[in-house]
């Protein structure tokens, strides 16, 4: 089959990790007989420099036409002036919103070999396997902002808005995911303080009671959840939360996996009829400007995002699994970028890791290896 993938490398290490993901996708495509056609487009700071706009219309058009979108990262010190009117991150928020990608799935399932790369005790990490479903197109990220300067003081506001329908649709995505896993949903809010969170809790309670009565449901306040994530991470299955809490909690959760560099994400919208949902796939790490251009960025988050893309938007489950197994085997073999290798071990480059995964992936497509 032939698939068109819009590629948005963005800034910093974005182009390096997207390149690594393409290498692996081409290997799996070659082995399985698929043709991935990449169409590169501008986003973020690179786009600001080239066009003055962090998300040109042409990029949006290309993403709409493609079967899926693969993104690297946006932002960097070059564009960090707090007074700037145009910022790279606006491009990322706008593409999420333009494509209606309201649910951001961030799986956290630490590889056992990486336990020593995490500051947490190895026994806490055993059996950790959860997915954070982060609401992605609402909340404080998208409410009106203001800045007022008076003679005596400066005042800034960010409005946080949620409607019941926005909460309902992301809750349903999380519930369906929990149904396909261990059947537990944790909803995270700050209902003791925020009105948006009281609505959030009300809606999640109603949707789970009326539509998913067989799920085990717990509600946690976000501060408590931040603590439980490092105290009892193995007890979580699916966590659903609003945009900003999800942003913060998933960076925290990356500590469980040993490095933020290994975590993938999928952003999806409503699936249209029987069709697979259009999606945007990106590692959860940022543009990491301090290591950009050095060839040492960890490509695993981007490679695993590619696997999620194959599974969710292209319907290629066996190929996705082959990538995930090839990544696990690569980690087992000790080939690791400096963020994971630490002081010990052989330090591999971004390309070394990608090539190691690419070389292994074909074998996992063979039925006898799949059964093993
Ligand atoms: C993420 C990032 C973005 C976000 C930034 C770059 C705007 O931190 O995808 O988690 O806050 O959503
Ligand atoms: Mg973030």
CB distance 53 to ligand 1 below 6 Å: no
Q: Which of 132, 126, 110 is nearest to 331 (CA)?
A: 110
Mind listing the pLDDT tens digit for each residue in 111-156? 999 999 999 999 999 999 999 999 999 999 999 999 999 999 999 9
How far does residue 251's CA lie from ligand 2's centre (Å)?
6
Active site residue 223: yes
Largest CA distance in the chain: 74
Q: How far is the CA of 152 from the centre of ligand 2 (A)?
A: 34
pLDDT digits (tens, 9 = 90+) for 313-356: 999 999 999 999 999 999 999 999 999 976 555 689 999 999 99
What pTM, to 2 d.p., does this model score? 0.95
Q: What is the pLDDT of residue 170?
A: 98
Ligand 2 centre to CA of 89 (Å) is: 11
**Residue nearest (by alpha carbon) to ligand 1 atom 12:** 247
pLDDT digits (tens, 9 = 90+) for 49-81: 999 999 999 999 999 999 999 999 999 999 999
Residue 371 confidence (pLDDT): 52
CA 159/CA 19 separation, integer angstroms: 38
- Render pLDDT for 4-16 as a digit per residue (tens, 0 to 9): 999 999 999 999 9
Give 37: exposed, middle or buried? Use CB within 10 Å, 0-12, 13-18, 19+: exposed
Sequence-separated (6 or more) residues with CB below 8 Å from residue 218? 184, 185, 186, 187
Q: Whose alpha carbon is nearest atom 4 of ligand 1?
A: 247
Across the chain, mean pLDDT equals 95
- The yes-or-no verdict on residue 264 having pLDDT over 80 is yes
| Dihedral sign (CA 210, 214, 218, 222) | negative
Q: What order do you get walking across the sheet with 266-268 strand by strand?
A: 35-40, 2-10, 68-73, 279-281, 266-268, 103-108, 130-135, 238-241, 184-189, 216-221
Is residue 274's pLDDT more than 90? Answer: no
d(CA 346, CA 307): 26
251 is catalytic: yes
């Amino acid at each position: 089959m032939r698939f068109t993938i819009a590629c948005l490398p963005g800034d910093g290490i974005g182009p390096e990790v997207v390149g690594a993901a393409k290498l692996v996708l081409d290997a799996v495509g070659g082995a399985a007989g698929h043709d991935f056609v990449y169409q590169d487009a501008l986003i973020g700071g690179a786009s600001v420099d080239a066009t003055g706009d962090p998300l040109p219309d042409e990029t949006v058009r290309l993403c709409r036409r493609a079967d899926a979108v693969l993104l690297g990262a946006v932002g960097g010190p070059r564009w960090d002036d707090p007074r700037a009117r145009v910022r790279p991150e606006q491009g990322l928020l706008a593409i999420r919103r333009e494509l209606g990608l309201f649910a951001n799935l961030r799986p956290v399932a630490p590889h056992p070999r990486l336990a020593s790369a995490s500051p947490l005790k190895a026994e806490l990490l055993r059996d950790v396997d959860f997915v954070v479903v982060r609401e992605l197109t609402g909340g404080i990220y998208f409410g009106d902002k203001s800045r007022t300067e008076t003679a005596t003081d400066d005042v800034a506001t960010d409005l946080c808005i949620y409607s019941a329908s926005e909460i309902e649709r992301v809750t349903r995505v999380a519930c369906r995911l929990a149904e396909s896993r261990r059947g537990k949903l944790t909803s995270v809010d700050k209902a003791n303080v925020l009105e948006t969170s009281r609505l959030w809790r009300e809606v999640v309670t109603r949707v789970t009671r009326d539509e998913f009565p067989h799920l085990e449901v717990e509600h946690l306040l976000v501060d408590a959840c931040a603590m439980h994530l490092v105290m009892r991470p193995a007890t979580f299955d699916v966590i659903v939360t609003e945009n900003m809490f999800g942003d913060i909690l998933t960076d925290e959760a990356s500590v469980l996996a040993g490095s933020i560099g290994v975590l993938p994400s999928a952003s999806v919208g409503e699936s249209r009829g029987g069709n697979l949902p259009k999606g945007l796939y990106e590692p959860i790490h940022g543009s990491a400007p301090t290591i950009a251009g050095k060839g040492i960025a960890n490509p695993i988050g981007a490679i695993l995002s590619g696997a999620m893309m194959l599974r969710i938007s292209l319907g290629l489950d066996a190929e996705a699994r082959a990538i995930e197994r090839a990544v696990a085997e690569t980690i087992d073999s000790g080939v690791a970028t400096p963020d994971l290798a630490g002081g010990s071990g052989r330090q591999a480059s971004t390309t070394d890791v990608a090539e190691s995964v690419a070389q292994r992936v074909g074998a996992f497509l063979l039925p006898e290896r799949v059964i093993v």
